[in-house]
Amino acid sequence: MTAAVALTVAGSDPSGGAGIQADLKTFSALGVYGTAVLTALTAQNTRGVTGVHQVPAGFVGDQLATLLDDVTVHATKLGMLGTADVVRTVAAALADRPGGPVVCDPVMVATSGDRLISEEAVDAVRTDLLPVTDLLTPNVPEAAALLDVPPATTVEELAPQAHALLELGPAAVLLKGGHLGGEESVDVLATAGGVLETRRPRVRTSSTHGTGCTLSSALAALAARERHARNELDWAPLVDEARDYLQAALEAGESLGVGSGHGPVHHFAGRW
Beta bridge partners of 64: none
Distance CA 87, CA 6 (A): 19
Distance CA 124, CA 158 (A): 23
Asked about 176 being catalytic, the answer comes back as yes
Q: Is 208 in the site for ligand ATP (CB under 6 A)?
A: yes
Collect all residues with Cβ–Cβ distance below 8 Å to 93 and sequence separation of at least 6: 61, 64, 65, 68
Q: Out of ligand ATP, Mg ion, none, which partner does residue 12 contact, by CB within 5 to 8 A per kind?
A: none
Asked if 77 contacts 23 with a C-beta cutoff of 8 angstroms, the reply is yes
Active-site residue, selected from the candidate residues 46, 133, 211, 214: 211
Contact letters (x/-) for ligand ATP, 164-183, by CB under 6 A? ------------xxxx----
- Residue 163 or 179: the one with the smaller Cβ distance to ligand ATP is 179
- Residue 100 or 253: the one with the smaller Cβ distance to ligand ATP is 253
Q: Is 250 in the site for ligand ATP (CB under 6 A)?
A: yes
Least distance to ligand ATP, CB of residue 243, Å? 6
Active-site residue, selected from the candidate residues 19, 100, 212, 263: 212
Alpha-helical regions (H) of the chain: 19-29, 57-70, 84-94, 119-124, 140-147, 158-166, 211-226, 235-252
Q: Out of ligand ATP, Mg ion, none, which partner does residue 39 contact, by CB within 5 to 8 A per kind?
A: none
Residue 148 DSSP symbol:
T
Asked about 104 being catalytic, the answer comes back as no
| Number of residues counted as binding ligand ATP (CB under 6 A) | 20
Among 215, 223, 224, 248, binds ligand ATP (CB under 6 A): 215
Asked if 45 contacts 37 with a C-beta cutoff of 8 angstroms, the reply is no
Among 11, 101, 212, 264, binds Mg ion (CB under 5 A): 212
Distance CA 249, CA 264 (A): 9
Task: Point out which span in 32-40, 51-59, 211-219, 248-256 binds Mg ion (CB under 5 A).
Answer: 211-219
Among 34, 210, 253, 263, binds ligand ATP (CB under 6 A): 210
Asked if 261 contacts 48 with a C-beta cutoff of 8 angstroms, the reply is yes
Burial category of 38 from C-beta neighbours within 10 Å (exposed 0-12, middle 13-18, buried 19 and up) = middle
Among 246, 248, 249, 252, binds ligand ATP (CB under 6 A): 246
Distance CA 101, CA 45 (A): 31
Among 41, 111, 163, 195, binds ligand ATP (CB under 6 A): 111
Active-site amino acid positions: 176, 208, 210-213
